[in-house]
Amino acid sequence: MVSKKPGKQRLRLYTLPLHRRHVLLSATLSPELRKKYGRRSLPVRKGDRVRIMRGDFKKLEGEVLKVDRKEVAVMVEGATVRKADGTEVPRKIHPSNLMIVKLAQDKKREKGLSRSGSQKASTKR
């Protein structure tokens, strides 16, 4: 049984192994992709095209440059901040504030999507 205590819930998130944090890095899919794959969200990957939905960079669309599993954050092309010395650094954005617009496909991801998405898409109307 899982604890109801908020402190223990947070502790579980903070101490979660990196290979299990993959699920925390999910972002919603655009309406077109939802229809196509029959899923509401997918884990973000490097190379995906995303739209930022919340925050200072709202409505910005760009490619995912890096996915940081340790900090549960994503760096998006174009979302940068200027440091005091003048250098530009990418801003870390939580995946819950993103919407995936275009997927970076490879054989493994395609296989997973066809397996899970087709069943759900066929049962939904």
Q: What is the pLDDT along the chain (125 residues), one digit of tens a residue?
A: 789 999 999 999 999 999 999 889 999 999 999 999 999 999 999 999 999 999 999 999 999 999 999 999 999 999 999 999 999 999 999 999 999 999 998 888 888 888 875 555 555 54
- Does residue 2 form part of some domain? no
Cβ proximity of 98 and 50 under 8 Å: yes
- Does residue 1 form part of some domain? no
Q: Look up residue 85 and give its amino acid.
A: D
- Does residue 3 form part of some domain? no
- Does residue 97 form part of some domain? yes
**Residue 19 CB contacts under 8 Å (≥ 6 apart), including other chains:** none
Supply the pLDDT for residue 89: 96
The CATH number linked to 53 is: 2.30.30.30
Supply the pLDDT for residue 106: 86
Q: Could you give the maximum distance between any two Cα atoms of the chain, in Å?
A: 56
The count of domains in the chain is 1
Cβ proximity of 114 and 108 under 8 Å: no
> Distance from first CA to last CA of the chain, Å, rounded?
35
- Does residue 77 form part of some domain? yes
Cβ proximity of 68 and 51 under 8 Å: no
Reported pTM: 0.84
- Does residue 88 form part of some domain? yes
Supply the pLDDT for residue 96: 96
- Structural domain harbouring 114: 15-123
Supply the pLDDT for residue 122: 52
- Does residue 5 form part of some domain? no
- Does residue 107 form part of some domain? yes
